[in-house]
Amino acid sequence: MSRLDSMLRRLTAQRDGLNWAAKMIASLEGDVLDLGLGNGRTYDHLRETCADRRVWVIDRVLQCHPSCVPPAENFLQGEAEPMLDRLALSGHRIALAHYDFGFGVKEKDLAEAVAMSPAVAKVMVKGGIIVSGQPLVGFEELTGPEGIPPGRYQFYRA
């Protein structure tokens, strides 16, 4: 499979997974969290799909497309673990989280995801859904929406 085809499959899986997760949390209270802003495509999709919820963003730097800059009060800039602690201490709870951190080196990405899992768990509401590009630990693994190949994206319930 070409890298272009692989990217298209990943982005389609991401979109379909986020749409599925948004439906899954319809009866839950809580905010939405995008872990890893990047260029802002996912944040833009979440703020449209979950327009009735506050959408938080955590990233080390703000370097997204100008149309995708989150409001300053919803952007937590810095290392993820202290920012998640800050969010938890402020009393905000997350019904839907999208985990998209990574260095692009599989071993480093997996190790970071495992290390970050407890911090993510601290902010989640019971029953909240996590859509992740990396395997996480300590959550109930779910079968995501039909059509997403196993391992392409991971889905969890807190």
For residue 23, give the CATH number of its domain: 3.40.50.150
pLDDT mean over 83-109: 89
Could you tell me the pTM of the whole model? 0.94
Distance, CA of 25 to CA of 28 (rounded, Å)? 5
Total domains in the fold of the chain:
1
Q: How confident is the model at residue 1, as a pLDDT?
A: 83
Across the chain, where does the E strand assignment appear? 31-35, 55-59, 75-77, 94-99, 124-132, 140-142, 154-157
Across 40-82, where does the E strand assignment appear? 55-59, 75-77
pLDDT interval class at 110 (50, 70, 90): confident
Question: Mean pLDDT score of the chain, rounded to an integer?
Answer: 94
pLDDT mean over 60-87: 95
Q: How confident is the model at residue 103, as a pLDDT?
A: 66
For the stretch 8-27, pLDDT in tens is: 988 999 999 999 999 999 99
pLDDT mean over 84-90: 95
Which domain, by its residues, includes 116? 3-157
pLDDT at 154 over 90: yes
Distance, CA of 148 to CA of 118 (rounded, Å)? 26
Q: How confident is the model at residue 117, as a pLDDT?
A: 97
Residue with tokens 């994206």: 153
